Amino acid sequence: MNPFFTIPLFFFIILSLTPSYGYDSLDPYGNITVTWDFLADNGDTVDVKVSIYNFQLFRHVEQPGWRLGWAWTGDEVIWAMLGAEATEQGNCTRFRGQTKPHCCQKKPTIIDLMPGTPYNLQSANCCKGGVLTSITQDVSKYGATFQMNYRKASLIDYDPTDPPPPQEDGNFTMPQNFTLGIPGYSCGKPLQVPPTKITKDGKRWTQVLDTWNVTCMYSQFLASPAPKCCVSLSAFYYSTIVSCPTCSCNCQGLPGAICVNDDKIPPLLSLPQGNDTAQPLVRCSRHMCPIRVHWHVKQSYKEYWRVKITITNLNFVKNYSQWNLVVLHPNLRSVNRVFSFNYKPLPIYGNLNDTGMFWGLEYYNEMLLTHGKNGNVQTEILLHKNKEEFSFEEGWAFPRKISFNGDECVMPSPDHYPSLPDNAAHITTTTTTTTTSFIVLFSVLMLSILL
Ligand SMILES: *[C@@H]1O[C@H](CO)[C@@H](O)[C@H](O)[C@H]1NC(C)=O
Ligand SMILES: *[C@@H]1O[C@H](CO)[C@@H](O)[C@H](O)[C@H]1NC(C)=O
Ligand SMILES: *[C@@H]1O[C@H](CO)[C@@H](O)[C@H](O)[C@H]1NC(C)=O
Ligand SMILES: *[C@@H]1O[C@H](CO)[C@@H](O)[C@H](O)[C@H]1NC(C)=O
Ligand SMILES: *[C@@H]1O[C@H](CO)[C@@H](O)[C@H](O)[C@H]1NC(C)=O
Ligand SMILES: *[C@@H]1O[C@H](CO)[C@@H](O)[C@H](O)[C@H]1NC(C)=O
Ligand SMILES: *[C@@H]1O[C@H](CO)[C@@H](O)[C@H](O)[C@H]1NC(C)=O
Ligand SMILES: *[C@@H]1O[C@H](CO)[C@@H](O)[C@H](O)[C@H]1NC(C)=O
């Protein structure tokens, strides 16, 4: 091969393989923000309100939910909490009184309460079992709030029979090192921001004493270096199905690659159920992905064309609740109808209205059942043929990008896309160059694993 061709190709492949930490072109500003509002200074204790907002366009927080953690900078202890609870009380032996603190740990982990928690333990906007929707999906469920009262660090060993110590003049110390307890997220340092304003009646606004924000960002690579879904394609004018690329998510036979054949289902009844943190246990396939998205160009009319999308769950140990699918295709700006799914175009900055989000209809298909339960969900979409650009040629009818639950899916190589029958000669010529680039890609992959 000509070296002048190989070297740029090499760098191109390296660049395209480099994981983009925390950056997702479909949701460049997406983040989860933790807001820490100091509500009242009681001298020896402080009241705070902590809110978690999912400002991501499509990524949601699913079961088992967020587990907010931080590190106190001093000797603080949490006396009481409403709307959430610490997972452990910790060592509170030094408090000999009748009432023990809620949590004495230096690094507490806070979890949400379940819906239906008794009212005396609730706070406003609480108790969602740790689950947050994206801001696109449901503006009433993308945030959660809890309140707590904690004892200031400097006063822990203060004897209550002594006269009260001088009041600190309003400066509060923020805890550090926040974590969300969800794979893939990392949080920045707390930043002091203008105090949150609260209104009771919509007329008069009061403000809290101090507000700090912590911004947490998602990185698909941090969550899992291996992809979690792949895309297969077909069209009414093309006789074969273009399946997911081999080894999209894993390779059968590699050490650690576990899969199960369909005829082995009965023993699976003894599998741990309902443990969403468990590793996927996938059906054996050449792509080894837990999720496959199939895009079928179904029909062409004079003014419109029809696409069928099927999402198949090949994971034996997970029901995907509140799943979502994001698709990038230029014709999405002319969506006419979407059947059986919810649909919303995504307002991405500088976007050409070519990206949209699909999710399930409540009580109908918002849950994508496990493979053992024949899990798949389907939609058909009707798109208006835009005269200037519409075409069945050059793979135009296929999506540019697809992500499932916020993780990008592996697409077949564009050279393999179904093409119109009169393009048959063209297919064979492109296949050779694809094979060559696949060999190069494969060697580079092997090299990067070995080095
Ligand atoms: C976090 O999201 C909010 C809301 O979309 C946005 O205003 C803010 O700039 C984002 N923060 C970062 C650091 O991207
Ligand atoms: C802090 O977080 C709140 C959400 O609670 C958001 O409305 C606000 O814009 C953020 N402030 C800054 C400066 O990022
Ligand atoms: C926060 O994490 C940093 C780095 O791991 C560590 O040096 C620091 O002591 C931690 N802060 C607290 C309060 O634990
Ligand atoms: C709990 O803390 C006390 C001091 O506050 C210490 O003496 C004791 O050993 C601790 N217990 C455990 C189990 O760590
Ligand atoms: C409070 O914070 C301000 C700004 O960071 C600082 O100038 C001031 O000295 C602090 N006051 C106390 C009592 O720590
Ligand atoms: C998935 O949902 C089905 C039907 O609700 C249930 O029978 C099954 O146990 C669930 N599986 C898991 C792994 O949660
Ligand atoms: C879920 O699975 C993980 C890893 O397999 C395990 O550590 C954890 O204890 C399990 N949780 C439950 C509730 O079974
Ligand atoms: C995208 O859609 C919005 C709202 O429908 C419209 O105002 C805007 O002009 C569209 N942009 C493009 C590039 O088509």
Q: What is the DSSP letter of 55?
A: -
d(CA 449, CA 451): 6
d(CA 129, CA 19): 32
What local confidence, expressed as pLDDT, does residue 159 receive? 55
pLDDT tens by residue, 148-192: 999 887 654 555 555 555 445 556 889 999 999 999 999 999 999
What local confidence, expressed as pLDDT, does residue 25 receive? 83
Closest CA to ligand 6's atom 5: 369
Do 294 and 234 touch, CB atoms closer than 8 A?
yes
What local confidence, expressed as pLDDT, does residue 312 receive? 96
What local confidence, expressed as pLDDT, does residue 5 receive? 42
Q: How many Cβ atoms sit within 10 Å of the Cβ of residue 84?
A: 25
171 CB within 6 A, ligand 5: yes
Q: Which residues contact 136 (CB under 8 A, 6 or more apart)?
A: 57, 58, 344, 346, 357
What local confidence, expressed as pLDDT, does residue 22 receive? 54
Give the mutation target among 23, 27, 29 for probing the ligand 1 site: most ligand atoms within 8 A of CB.
Answer: 29
For the CA of 215, the closest atom of ligand 1 is 13
Give the mutation target among 277, 279, 281 for probing the ligand 7 site: most ligand atoms within 8 A of CB.
Answer: 277
Give the mutation target among 109, 176, 178, 214 for probing the ligand 3 site: most ligand atoms within 8 A of CB.
Answer: 176
d(CA 227, CA 243): 16
Q: How far is the CA of 169 from the centre of ligand 5 (A)?
A: 8
Do 351 and 403 touch, CB atoms closer than 8 A?
no
Which residue type does 300 have?
S
What local confidence, expressed as pLDDT, does residue 396 receive? 92
Q: Which CATH code fits 227-265+272-435?
A: 2.60.40.290
What local confidence, expressed as pLDDT, does residue 201 receive? 74
Q: How far is the CA of 55 from the centre of ligand 1 (A)?
A: 7
Answer positive or negative: Cα dihedral of 161, 166, 170, 176. Answer: negative
207 CB within 6 A, ligand 7: no
**Ligand with the closest atom to the CA of 170:** 5
35 CB within 6 A, ligand 2: yes
Write out the two tokens for 438.
Answer: 């696949």
For the CA of 91, the closest atom of ligand 4 is 1
Q: Please name the fold of domain 22-221.
A: Immunoglobulin-like (2.60.40)
169 CB within 6 A, ligand 5: yes
d(CA 45, CA 56): 34
Q: Which residues of the chain have pLDDT under 50?
A: 1-21, 156, 166-167, 266, 269, 275, 423-440, 444, 447, 449-451
Q: How far is the CA of 397 from the centre of ligand 3 (A)?
A: 51
DSSP string, 62-87: -TT--EEEEE-SSS-EEEEEESEEES
Closest CA to ligand 1's atom 9: 29
What local confidence, expressed as pLDDT, does residue 211 receive? 93
Q: What is the DSSP letter of 242?
A: B
For the CA of 168, the closest atom of ligand 5 is 13
The answer to whether domain 22-221 and domain 227-265+272-435 are alike in fold is: yes
Write out the two tokens for 281.
Answer: 């246990």
Domain ranges (residues) in the chain: 22-221, 227-265+272-435
Write out the two tokens for 400.
Answer: 């540019």
User: What torsion, rounded to 10 degrees, do the Cα atoms 121, 126, 130, 133 define?
Assistant: 160
Which has the closest alpha carbon to 170: 146, 158, 152? 152
Q: How many helical (H) and strand (E) elements, i.e. helices and strands, does the chain have?
A: 3, 27
pLDDT tens by residue, 9-37: 443 443 344 444 457 888 988 999 999 99
For the CA of 274, the closest atom of ligand 6 is 14
